[in-house]
Amino acid sequence: MLKKCEVCGLILDSELIQDRCPKCQADSSKFRSLSREEAEKITRSHLTNSLLTDLAAVAEHQVRLAEKGIADQLDPGCIQTFDLALRQAVLLRQMIRAEIAIHTGKEKW
C-alpha cells in the first residue's frame, strides 16, 4: 500500500515507513494512505516519467553534438543539418519539461 507524507509529499510503500519520514523527518502519523485510484495513477506514471527523463538526456546529448557540428563549420549543408538538430532538440527538451511540470501538478511524479 502506498502512503504519502502530508508534510513534504514523499510517497512510499507502507513497509518502508518507520518512525519518521526519511525526507522531512515528520512523524510517521503524517503519512496517509493513498486511494487505489491515486496509487494506480502514480504507479502507471513511473514508466512514462522514466522514459521522459531518458529522452531528456538524449535531447541534451543531441544539443551537445549539434553545437560541436555547428562549431566545426565544415560546409553549409552540414551546418544546416546541425542547426536543425539543435533547434529540434531544444524544442523537445522544452516539451519534456512542460510535460514533467504537468505530471508534477497532477501528483504523478
Query: Each residue of 77-97: pLDDT tens digit?
Result: 999 999 999 999 999 999 999
Task: Please indicate, yes or no, whether residues 56 and 85 belong to a single structural domain of this protein.
Answer: yes
Tell me how far apart the alpha carbons of residues 58 and 60 are, in angstroms, rounded to a whole number: 5
**Count of domains observed in the chain:** 2
Task: Please indicate, yes or no, whether residues 85 and 63 belong to a single structural domain of this protein.
Answer: yes
Q: What is the mean predicted confidence (pLDDT) over 10-37?
A: 94
**Model pTM score:** 0.71
Task: Please indicate, yes or no, whether residues 16 and 58 belong to a single structural domain of this protein.
Answer: no
Q: What secondary structure letter does DSSP report for 77?
A: H
Give residue 30's domain range: 1-34
Q: What is the mean predicted confidence (pLDDT) over 95-100?
A: 95
Tell me how far apart the alpha carbons of residues 70 and 66 are, in angstroms, rounded to a whole number: 6
Task: Please indicate, yes or no, whether residues 30 and 48 belong to a single structural domain of this protein.
Answer: no
pLDDT at 44: 85
- Please name the helix (run of DSSP H) or strand (run of DSSP E) that holds residue 2, with its range, or none: strand 2-5
pLDDT at 82: 98
Phi-psi region of 4 (alpha: psi -120 to 50; beta: other; left: phi over 0): beta
